[in-house]
Each structure stands twice: as structure tokens, then as C-alpha cells.
Structure 1
């Protein structure tokens, strides 16, 4: 695949993740009587990854996340030269999705950005449960590290073939079930950047954490799988095979 194809695939995939995941939170979670709640939002984020993994995994690898991109590099699965292309495409996809989502949400008279938000991430005053900076930092590092571990393990050549998108999507669902009350769940700097640029204010001031923590977690998870999960006893080279 060309760099153009990979970049466009990452743009489209990250757009889908932010529009589908954040869109479920903004448009569907709080609807009276029929709102999907935390569980529905968590499933929506997982489904965006499952669907795009099957749609563009063969084009770009379906990273959709700068922390995944740098984590795969740390795990020896990705070339450092392609990191800028992927990160730029991911952030642009997230930003376009956030602005379009805001435009759609504004189509109802009851929507107010200051009141309803745009599923932005935060800690302290910006946390759904009022969790402080250190809680947010720790949970984002831990969950991103485990996310990378699951991504690398499920896509390992020794893992059962064809099931990686399901495992990764379910992992992201579980991550959201755990951490929506803490930070509104990032584990993805691009996902955080799009809504923060639209909302501004506190979300934009706190955006740094949602770059620092997921990148640290991604690097740790990728390196850890590369260290622990490496095949130390490769199959002997038998003549004729």
C-alpha cells in the first residue's frame, strides 16, 4: 500500500472511531427513557474498532490512535519513519469528526456545548466522577498499556487467526466500562484532541494528560509484549521445510 492509501485509511478509521464513539455519548447516551448509558457508549467505541479493523486492517493496520502507533513501534512491529504520517492522519480524522458531530448535535434546540459537552476527556473538574489528576494519569497509562498488550498478542502470528479485531474491540469496550467515570476514557490522544479543540476551555487545558499518559502506556505495553511475548525458542530449521 502507498503512504497516501495508509494515511487516508487512518483518517477514515479515526473519523469513524470518534464519530461513532463520541457520537453515541453525545447523541444517544442521555436520551430520556431510551438512552444507551455507559454500557452503550462502551459498546459503541468497541464496535467502531471491530468494524474498521476488518475494513482497513489490510490497508494500514487500523491503528486509529497515536498511542497504538508508537506502541507498535516500541514492540518492533512498526517503522518509526511512518509514525508522523499516521499520527497526523489520526488527529485530522478525529478533529473533522468532532466538528461534524458538534454541527449535528447543534441541530436540536436543547443542545448547548457548555452544558452537554462533546464527550471530552478530563480530570478533576473535567472528570465525570470528579477523579483527580493522579487517578486520571494512572488509569490512562495502565489501560493503554494493557490495550497494547492485547493488540500485540491477538495479532501475533501464533495467535488464532481472524479473531484479533474482536479481541481488540472487546478490550476497548472493557476499557471504557472501567474508566468512563474517571476520565471519560481516552487511551487515545487523537480521540481526545478532536473534542477538546471544539469544546476549548478546560478540556483544552487538560489535553496534555491525554497525550502524555496514553503515549507512556503505549510505549510500555508494546515494549513489555516484545520482551515477554517474544518466541525465545523458535522452531528448528529442518531441511526440506
Structure 2
């Protein structure tokens, strides 16, 4: 006989297999990731590169957030809508994607981001007033120390990247969870989160919270950007790992509770059956027995040898004359006690007459 736990596990594996069969092929998913990453690179790097404050009121951080929202709405149904190696690593650690597939995702995201940066580099080369294209890219490339607008040291930029990426990946994992009943809001939640974080990190060091975007801009910038690129890989991956481990713990605890739930339900049902059976036995054998009444409880409480007392007590209850009930019945029957009473009355009546 199949246990409830094994039946639940079987149903879960069948559902996972059905979802895997309905999932698009790997080539389609990688293409979606590459195209979405290209869009993010063009919006995240192109808007600040070509922004003129008087004619472009849209901030670079909001533009990047809206690009994430649009990309997720367009391609998330195909690949999941990562477009960020940190998000992919967080999903892998949380157990939502395999390691080999995650590595392929990261490769596709790098290709897409590099293609976007290359397109922007080509556009910059056509602008006559820009003499040094690499110097122009330096203004949107992540850096620390002297390459930070506020001269933020390495430790400060690292902390911002770790914290910001952990928050971004946590929002992604939470809003795209299978238990989330409002997954349609995920693109907007992730996009707004990225916009807020970019607004925070822009002055600190152009922190992108996206290693693919950081790599794409560093390749087309001055040589110092490649020397500092390691921080914008290590810090985001650490933040993603923290968020992934937290959500993996949530999933494990939920799965354990779901696995124990059938056993608890079965135990409760079995306990209910035992109590019902005990109640049925009591009702059938005791309470519904015609020979069982309160007198049996009195006799049982009085113990052995109490039958005569019980009979006398029952007799007194039936005869309202109380303690003289037995003698009265004997008098009516003409017993010896009744004759003695008559003689005594005659004797006293004669003495009164004298």
C-alpha cells in the first residue's frame, strides 16, 4: 500500500516532469537571456551616455529599471527573465536551476551585454564631438577609489554591491516563487527595486549590481576598469549567494512541513477512529443496555454483600411510608406483629374506660 508521503512525492515529481516537458528548449531560453541582457545594457549604459539634462528628464536609474520590467514581461515566460549572472547564481543556489544550465545562462547574458555595449561604442564613434570613446565609457563604468564620484573606498563599494545585489535577488526569488499568488507583479517589483538601487549606487561607484553589465562597460573603457572589475563580480555573487541560501532554507522548511503533513493527518484520522470506536462500544454495551441503570452503579459502589441493602433501599423508595413500610405490609397481611398491636390497643382502651 502506498503511503501518503510517497504518493505526495510521486505527484510532485510528475508535476515537475510535466513542467519540464512544457518548458522551451535551451536554445530558446539562452536566446531570450541574451536578448534581454542586450536591452539592459543599451538602456543602462546608453541613457547616461547620451543624456542631456535639459532635454532628457528620465534618469538613468529609472530607465534601467523600466528596461528590466519590459524585458521580464517580454521574455520571462521563456527563460525566467534573469538577465543578470547574480540572479542566475541566486536561482541556482536556491535550487531552481541546474548548475550546467546556470553556466549557460551566464554565458548568454555576457554575450548579450557585450553586444549592447559594442553597439553603443559604435554609436559613440560616429559622434564628431567625442574624441575619445573609451573616456566617454569611463563615465558609466563601475569603479571605486579615485574612479568613484564621491571617492568611495573599495570596502564601501563592496558593501553596497553585496547588500544591493542580495536585496535584488531576494525580490526576484520572492516574487517569482511558485507559492506566490501574485507572480504577475514580479517584473514591476524587480524593475522598481533595480531603479532604487541604481539611484543609490550611482554616486558611490556606478554600481550596476549586474556582473554582465559591469564586464561589458569595462571592456570598452580605460585599462583601470579591468583592474577593478573583480570586485563587481565577487561582491554581487556573494550577495546573490546570501539571498539564494536564505530562500533555499525557506524551501527546505516548507518541503519538510509538507512531507510531515500527510503523516500528521493520518495519525489524527487514526486517533479519531479509535475514539469513535471507543464511543461506539460504550454506547452499545453500556449506555444502551436496558439492564443498565443507576441502581447498578449504587450496588457496584457498595461492594459485595450489599444486595439486601439495595433491595431494602429500592423497597423504601417504592413505599412512601418510609421505615414502617415493611411492618405496615405485614399488618395488612395479618402477620404476628399485626396481632400484637391489636392486643396492645385493646388493653389501653380498657384502662381508659375504667
TM score, norm. by length of structure 1: 0.91
Query: C-alpha displacement at 1:32, in angstroms?
Result: 4.8
Query: C-alpha displacement at 1:117, in angstroms?
Result: 2.3
Query: C-alpha displacement at 1:94, in angstroms?
Result: 0.8
Of the three residues 133, 136, 140, the one matched with 1:113 is 133
Aligned to 1:8: 31
- Say if 2:240 is the partner of 1:218: yes
Aligned to 1:202: 224
- Distance in 1 between residues matched to 2:236 and 2:246, nearest whole Å: 15
Aligned to 2:195: 173
Correspondences of 1:36-115 after superposition (within 5 Å): 36=57, 40-111=59-130, 112-115=132-135
- Structure 2 gap segments, 5+ residues each: 1-23, 267-354
Query: C-alpha displacement at 1:14, in angstroms?
Result: 0.3
- Say if 2:55 is the partner of 1:34: yes
- Say if 2:146 is the partner of 1:125: yes
- Structure 1 gap segments, 5+ residues each: none
SS of the equivalent of 1:106 reads helix
- Bigger RCO (CA 8 Å, 6+ sep): 1
Aligned to 2:210: 188
Aligned to 1:153: 174
Aligned to 2:288: none
CA contact (8 A) 2:135 2:222 kept: no
**1:145-176, Cα deviation, whole Å (9 max, x unpaired):** 11111111111223213101100000100111
Query: C-alpha displacement at 1:100, in angstroms?
Result: 0.8
CA contact (8 A) 1:73 1:79 kept: yes
SS of the equivalent of 1:163 reads helix
CA contact (8 A) 1:27 1:105 kept: no
- Distance in 2 between residues matched to 1:113 and 1:3, nearest whole Å: 36
- Say if 2:246 is the partner of 1:227: no
Query: C-alpha displacement at 1:114, in angstroms?
Result: 4.6
Larger Rg: 2
TM score, norm. by length of structure 2: 0.63
The Cα RMSD (Å) is: 1.9
Equivalent pairs counted in the alignment come to 235
